[in-house]
């Protein structure tokens, strides 16, 4: 029996896309900043064509603003947009989590536990920052994965990236972080118990608390 292993072929374009996406979400560029394409070319050691293709994709995805004849800019951060993103997360992730609890099977249950465990184990030391972020994203993806709607998942993913631009503005806040980490495990608990209503309520609260963190950082940043 031939294992059809996903090859995950990469191109210069797909690599620089993923790198830039991470750096944009992680706040390595200033909000509102105009991107100097030549500088990017140098910094990431990449050719102009793959770079421009990546920038075009990021603009279509919403992590860059493209203006004809004047290149690419990093979107500004605004209170109104943070509110918008958080409110959309509440609606869409809540909906998705409910549906996931209805449809998720035993495999999902196992993946939930695994994802929560990996996230817990990943210490948040400064060097492993990016690793924790990856596991955190992966955990939230797993929560809603079996919701049954490809488009809903797509929108949620996009909103998460947007939200993280705000959440990751400042330094870590260990106290609040602990509360949020605890909620991760409680979310798994309630999902396994198929307690849709309580799960939804906790998800709402989780997003709301995250929003408060993001807002605090946004205000400190401005």
Interface of this chain with its own copies, residues 147 to 206, rule: CB under 8 A: 148-152, 154-155, 159, 162
CA–CA dist 77, 66 (Å, integer): 16
10 Å CB burial of residue 85 (0-12, 13-18, 19+) is buried
Question: What SS3 state is found at 66?
Answer: strand
Binding-residue pattern over the window 38 to 77 for DNA, x denoting contact by CB under 7 A: x-------xxxxx-xx------------xxxxxxx-----
Task: Indicate which single residue of 22, 34, 41, 57 sits in contact with its own copies (rule: CB under 8 A).
Answer: 57
CA distance 93 to 98: 8
Q: By CB under 8 A, name the one of 2, 3, 6, 69 that touches its own copies.
A: 69
Whether residue 62 contacts residue 154, with contact meaning beta carbons closer than 8 Å, is answered with no
CA nearest neighbour of 161 among 72, 64, 34:
64
Q: Is 68 exposed, middle or buried (0-12, 13-18, 19+ CB in 10 A)?
A: exposed
Give the nearer residue to DNA in terms of CB position, either 38 or 179: 38
Task: State the number of binding residues for its own copies (CB under 8 A).
Answer: 34
CB neighbours of residue 127 within 10 Å:
7
Question: Binding to its own copies by residue 85, rule CB under 8 A?
Answer: yes
Of 77-85, 133-141, 186-194, 200-208: span binding its own copies (CB under 8 A): 77-85
Q: Which two tokens stand for residue 138?
A: 């992966």
Q: What mask of x and - would describe binding to its own copies in positions 10 to 49, judged by CB under 8 A?
A: xx-xx----------------------------------x
Among 19, 21, 23, 37, binds DNA (CB under 7 A): 37
Question: Taking the mean position of all CA atoms in its chain, how far away is CA 174?
Answer: 20
Please give the residue ranges that form the binding site for its own copies (CB under 8 A): 9-11, 13-14, 49, 52-54, 56-62, 68-69, 81, 84-85, 87-88, 91, 95, 148-152, 154-155, 159, 162
């Amino acid at each position: 029996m031939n294992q059809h292993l996903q090859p995950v072929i990469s191109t210069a374009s797909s690599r620089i896309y993923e790198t830039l996406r991470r750096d944009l979400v992680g706040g390595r560029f200033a909000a509102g900043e105009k991107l100097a394409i030549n500088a990017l070319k140098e910094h990431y050691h990449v050719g102009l064509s793959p770079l421009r293709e990546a920038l075009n994709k990021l603009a279509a995805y919403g992590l860059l603003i493209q203006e004809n004849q004047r290149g690419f800019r990093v979107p500004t951060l605004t209170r109104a947009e943070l509110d918008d993103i958080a409110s959309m997360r509440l609606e869409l992730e809540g909906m998705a989590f409910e549906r996931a609890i209805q449809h998720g099977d035993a495999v999902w249950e196992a993946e939930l536990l695994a994802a929560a465990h990996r996230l817990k184990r990943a210490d948040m030391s400064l060097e492993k920052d990016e690793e924790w972020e990856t596991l955190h994203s992966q955990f939230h993806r797993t929560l809603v994965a079996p919701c049954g709607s490809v488009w809903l998942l797509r929108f949620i993913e996009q909103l998460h990236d947007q939200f993280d631009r705000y959440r990751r503005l400042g330094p870590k806040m260990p106290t609040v972080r602990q509360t949020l980490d605890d909620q991760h495990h409680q979310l798994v608990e309630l999902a396994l118990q198929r307690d849709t209503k309580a799960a939804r309520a906790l998800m709402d609260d989780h997003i709301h608390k995250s929003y408060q963190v993001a807002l605090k950082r946004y205000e400190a940043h401005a």
